[in-house]
Amino acid sequence: MSQPAPNTDSPIRVRHKGHIARVSFNEPERYNPLRADVIAALHNALDTIADDDNVRVVIIDAEGKAFCAGHDLREIRSMEDRDAHQALFDRCSAFMQRVVSLPQPVIAQVQGIATAAGCQLVATADLAVAGRSARFATSGINLGLFCSTPAVAVSRVVPRKNALEMLFTGDFVEADEAARLGLVNRVVDDDQLAATTTEMAEKIAAKPPEAIQAGKALFYRQSGKDLAAAYDDASETMACNMDTDAAREGVDAFLEKRKPQW
């Protein structure tokens, strides 16, 4: 399916190739900030993708040398009162939760800096691939602002003491250390970043989408439950999964020593 030419004036770009959608930050000269209009555009793009049965995987990437520098400080300082700040952070939090609730897996493709809410987005994505140039920080503390909302996402993927060190010091974490801590899945040379991320996306896109989507939803649901409730939910999900055409075809193909036809 042919796609319209991207709008170079838009703060984000959305492109489709096969079963993969790329949602790209498109303000490289500003280090791709999460302004209010950018957050709205990203959220709207994900809402559209959620209803697109042809899309099986989403990659969030960025134009330029940086992935995302977080909120636009000039925008924040221009706001007159606490209610305006609350509305901005609420909108950003809703967007981050949309990444999690999106049926399709989301992969962050990270080069350069990912700071504050940009680091939050990397932590929120289901998977993340980083170039060796990538550096991560929850750096709000250096400005007198504790990265409270980034802390929610970072603390769920990074061990507690490491997360608190990031939050208390604002120091940068290099790409290899980010992988060791679990903030990203893997690190590759910058010139291999797009190819590696695409390869990961294509591998997931080749799996049955019903199983991937049900599995993603179950993964996040069960993580907030106690052990017994988690297993109850997982058992029901697996039973429902087993009762699908995709699972029957997959099992039959394995038993018949052939490639499944999904």
Dump pLDDT digits (tens) for 45-103.
999 999 999 999 999 999 999 999 999 999 999 998 999 999 999 999 999 999 999 99
pLDDT at 116 over 80: yes
Amino acid at the residue 2: S
Spatial neighbors of 117 by CB under 8 A, at least 6 apart, are 34, 68, 70, 71, 92, 149, 150
CA dihedral 24, 57, 149, 71 (to 10 degrees): 0
Q: Are residue 25 and residue 135 in the same domain, yes or no?
A: yes
User: Which residue has 């193909």 as its token pair?
Assistant: 253
In this structure, is residue 261 part of a structural domain?
no
pLDDT of residue 4: 43
pTM, entire model: 0.94
User: Which residue has 């492109």 as its token pair?
Assistant: 15
Q: Are residue 16 and residue 78 in the same domain, yes or no?
A: yes
**Taking a C-beta distance cutoff of 8 angstroms, is the pair 208, 250 a contact?**
yes
> Helix (H, G, I), strand (E, B), or coil: what is residue 107?
strand
In this structure, is residue 50 part of a structural domain?
yes
**Helices (DSSP H) in the chain: which residue ranges?**
36-50, 73-78, 82-101, 117-124, 148-154, 160-169, 175-181, 193-205, 209-222, 227-242, 245-255
Among candidate residues 189, 205, 221, the one where a domain is terminated: 205
Q: Are residue 123 and residue 38 in the same domain, yes or no?
A: yes
Among candidate residues 165, 181, 205, the one where a domain is terminated: 205
Dump pLDDT digits (tens) for 124-160.
999 999 999 999 999 999 999 999 999 999 999 999 9
Strand partners, 23: 14, 60
Dump pLDDT digits (tens) for 100-114.
999 999 999 999 999
Give the mean pLDDT of 17-42: 97
pLDDT at 262 over 90: no
Choice between 3 and 194, residue whose per-residue pLDDT is larger:
194
Res. 8 pLDDT band, cuts 50 70 90: low
pLDDT of residue 80: 83
**Helices (DSSP H) in 102-159: which residue ranges?**
117-124, 148-154
Give the mean pLDDT of 218-233: 96
**Taking a C-beta distance cutoff of 8 angstroms, is the pair 172, 116 a contact?**
no
Q: Are residue 197 and residue 101 in the same domain, yes or no?
A: yes
Share of the chain above pLDDT 90, in %: 95
Q: Are residue 117 and residue 233 in the same domain, yes or no?
A: no
